[in-house]
Amino acid sequence: MRIGLYGGTFDPIHLGHLRAAENAREELSLDLVAFLPAAVPPHRGAPLSLASDRLAMVRLATLPYAEFEAWDHELRREGPSYTIETVETLLLAQPADSFVLVVGADTWPEIPTWREPERLLALVEVAVVDRPGYASAPPKPPFPGARGARRVGGPGLPLSASAIREHARCRRSVRFLVPDAVADYIGKRGLYR
Amino acid residing at 97: D
Residue 152 lies in a domain: yes
pLDDT of 138: 59
Cα dist from 25 to 32, 100, 144, 185, whole Å: 7, 10, 27, 26
34 located within any domain: yes
Classify 96 in phi/psi space as left (phi over 0), alpha (psi -120 to 50) or beta.
alpha
| 176: in domain | no
Task: Write down the pTM of the prediction.
Answer: 0.93
| Total number of domains constituting the chain | 1
User: How far is CA 75 from each of CA 18, 36, 39, 81, 88, rounded to the nearest angstrom?
Assistant: 20, 8, 5, 8, 16
The pLDDT score that the predictor gives to residue 91 is 97
DSSP string, 98-130: EEEEEEETTTGGGGGGSSSHHHHHHHSEEEEE-
Host domain of residue 143: 2-157
Reported as type and span, the H/E element at residue 56 is helix 51-62
For 17, 37, 53, 73, 161, the CA distances from 180, given in Å and listed in that order, are 14, 19, 15, 25, 15
State residue 46's pLDDT score.
82
Q: Considering the domain boundaries, does residue 79 fall inside one?
A: yes
pLDDT of residue 137: 60
Distance (Å, whole) CA 189 – CA 134: 33
Q: Is residue 89 part of a domain?
A: yes
Largest CA distance in the chain: 49
Q: Are 24 and 121 in contact (CB under 8 A)?
A: no
- Per-residue pLDDT 10s for the chain (193 aa) are 999 999 999 999 999 999 999 999 999 999 999 999 999 888 787 899 999 999 999 999 999 999 999 999 999 998 899 999 999 999 999 999 999 999 998 888 888 899 999 999 989 999 999 988 876 665 666 666 566 689 999 999 999 999 999 999 999 999 999 999 999 999 999 999 9
Domain for residue 172, yes or no?
no
Q: Is 118 domain-assigned?
A: yes
- Whole-number pLDDT of residue 109: 85
Does residue 106 lie within any of the structural domains? yes
Query: Which CATH number fits the domain that encloses residue 69?
Result: 3.40.50.620
